A = this chain, B = another copy of it.
Amino acid sequence: MRRLTAEKFSLFFFLLLLFVFSYSVLAAGKSIRRNKPCNRLVLHLHEIIRQGNYTFPNATSAAVTKRVPGLGSFQFGEMYVFDNLVTRDANPHSPQAARARGFYVYDGKDSGNDLYMITLSFNSTEYTGTLTILGTNNHSLKTRDLPVVGGTGDFFMARGVTTLEVDVIDFTTSYFRLKMDIKLYECY
């Protein structure tokens, strides 16, 4: 009977240890796995670019520097500032989910590329807070991954990756739409 007691203890401890061990492993190392984001948002960004001196009705972005001559044919040096509508649905007339503000600078000499600096501001029943996205945007790729480098509010201390994909480019209306697949791997 005493033996049994010891065995019971050992079983109890073994199970407890297993639990502690699993918990530590999961919690520690933050269990970051690419296919297991702790939060995910699929959003659509709508931009209407102001062209030259003529402002398209409802333009949401505009160049603030000029491209540099002699450094390729990909608008090198041109910087655009934007304040864009972001929606859950691809339809630009669907309700606003967030505001995307920031800038991009064309920085590709021999290929289309820009440095993309996006802040997302959420102020809805679903989310309140911001995300900061900053990375290089290679136009040659169908999908481009950009790091999410920080967040506030509901996205306090967030980090992750945003996959961008051009949905629509319409030169006649100076409009483009980006699909943003935001995967967060640090959530607090």
Contacts and interface: CB of A to CB of B under 8 A. Distances in A.
A45 interface: no
B68 A65 contact: no
Interface string A52-91: 0001000110111110111100001111011100000000
Contacts of A113: 83, 101
A35 to B, nearest CB: 11
A171 interface: no
Tell me the number of copies of this protein. Answer: 3
Nearest to A72: B83
A182 interface: no
Contacts of A107: 81-83, 101-103
15 contacts: A2-B6, A25-B27, A27-B29, A50-B71, A59-B71, A62-B68, A62-B70, A62-B71, A77-B81, A81-B106, A102-B105, A103-B105, A129-B145, A145-B152, A148-B150
Interface of A: 2-3, 5-6, 9-10, 13, 16-17, 20-21, 23-25, 27-30, 32, 34, 50, 55, 59-60, 62-66, 68-71, 76-79, 81-83, 101-103, 105-110, 113, 115, 117, 119, 121, 129-130, 132, 134-136, 138, 145-153, 156-157, 159-161, 185, 188
